[in-house]
Amino acid sequence: MQKLNFAVFGTGFWSNYQIPGWLELGDLKCLAAYNRTIEKAKKIGEKFDIPFIYDNPEKLIKNHGDLDFVDICTNVETHLPLTKLAAENGLDIVCQKPMAGNLDDAREMLRICNHNDVKLFINENFRWQTPIRAFKKIMDSGEIGKPFKARISFCTAFPVFENQPFLKEVEHFILADVGSHTLDLCRFLFGEVDTLYCQTAKINPTIKGEDVASILLKMVSGLTCFVEMSYASRLEKDSFPEALILLEGSHGSIYLDHGYEIKITTKKGTVKKSVEPQIYPWVNPEYTIVHSSIVDCQRNILEGLRGNRAETTGADNLKTAELVWGSYRSAETNELVRLQ
């Protein structure tokens, strides 16, 4: 297998997990890292033995004609300009979620990549979590009959701003940051969306954006799905960073509970299965399931980079972005938004 060389753009919190995720897959070399604050890039360079460090992305690309792709994990407003830079230089792109800071930018990223004939993938990892893959398998087995109703919850009081302080300043917070994941889960499990209605709230007075969102979706299949997310929820058991999912079907239900436990209930009773993720030594224990799923997501993207099918392409993730920005529109206008 041909070894692929890549550069990482952005050496903040997520690069500590994105880079070792790639290195788990073998046949990959991180040649260079860029960050606008060079000291941060140097730190990550030392940690992961990256030979070339830059505070100028143009220079990085100019100096490294041997790159195969770039992994963009900078703040969201730079996703479009960095995608443009990489695409115009013929490099394939892997970009952190949310894809862009608005729908026009997301569409433009896709257009630029198509125009320059380079591949674009979004590092959307929640759908790669081991319990969620197991959940889908059980659903697809038909054991609970025809699904008609679901609920996806990501409600927590986890102090997310300690690791990602910039999230305090963003105008669009929870729908963009967490909704990108939960709405993508909805599409992954239940297919495309017909209509949605959303309400948001800001509970934490020290942040700029919304920290609570409730969305009711009607899927093309007819199933209704309630998606709720909150960083203002002080609950008996904090489930961060797990998404809890309940699905009801004509013959029973499936519940993905805290601690990676799946409960299948039919007329015969309830069967419990524990679906633990693989734990890598470099994961942050507060984010285990999310960081572990990075490897499976990147393995699939690597397939895509090598010319095979991958799930979280730019074109696919644009549909998730349409749900995120459709939810903002619904909350703003207090109206139902039609997707199809």
Q: Which residues bind ligand 89V (CB under 6 A)?
A: 160, 177-178, 181, 241, 290
| Alpha helices for the chain (secondary structure H) | 15-24, 38-48, 57-63, 79-88, 103-115, 130-141, 174-177, 179-190, 288-305, 314-333
Distance between CA atoms of residues 32 and 24, nearest Å: 18
Shortest distance (Å) from residue 180 CB to ligand 89V: 7
C-beta closer to ligand 89V: residue 45 or 98? 98
Side-chain-side CA neighbours of 172 within 13 Å: the count stands at 23
Structure tokens at 83: 């995608």
Residue closer to ligand 89V (CB basis): 139 or 160: 160
Tell the smallest beta-carbon distance from residue 272 to ligand 89V (Å).
25
- Least distance to ligand 89V from the beta carbon of 325, Å? 17
The smaller minimum CB distance to ligand 89V, of residues 21 and 252, is found at 21
3-class DSSP assignment, residue 151: strand
Q: How far is the CB of 247 from ligand 89V (least distance, A)?
A: 21
Residues constituting the chain: 340
Q: Closer CB to ligand 89V, residue 138 or residue 324?
A: 324
Bridge-based pairing of strands 224-230 and 244-249 is unpaired
Cα distance between residue 167 and residue 161, in whole Å: 6
Of 137, 25, 111, 119, the C-alpha closest to 70 is: 119
Name the minimum Å distance from CB 211 to ligand 89V. Answer: 12
Of 178 and 323, CB closest to ligand 89V: 178
* CB nearer to ligand 89V: pick between 138 and 212: 212
* Residues 159, 232 contacting (CB under 8 angstroms): no
Complete DSSP assignment for 238-304: --TTPPEEEEEETTEEEEEEGGGEEEEEETTEEEEEE-PPP--TTS-GGGHHHHHHHHHHHHHHHHH
Distance set, CA 77 to CA 90, 121, 209 (Å): 21, 17, 15
Cβ proximity to ligand 89V, 45 vs 241, nearer residue:
241
For the record, the structure tokens of 269 come out as: 């009773």
Minimum distance between the CB of residue 290 and ligand 89V, rounded to whole angstroms?
4
Give me the residue label for tokens 């910039």.
166
Nearer to ligand 89V, 172 or 181 (CB): 181
Q: What is the distance between the alpha carbons of residues 29 and 21, in angstroms, rounded to a whole number?
A: 12
**Residues with Cβ within 8 Å of residue 327, at least 6 apart in sequence:** 175, 179, 183, 196, 198, 200, 213, 215, 337
Q: How far is the CB of 130 from ligand 89V (least distance, A)?
A: 15
Nearest approach in angstroms of CB 178 to ligand 89V is 5
We find the least distance from the C-beta atom of residue 96 to ligand 89V, in angstroms, to be: 8
Q: Which is nearer to ligand 89V, 194 or 238 (CB)?
A: 238
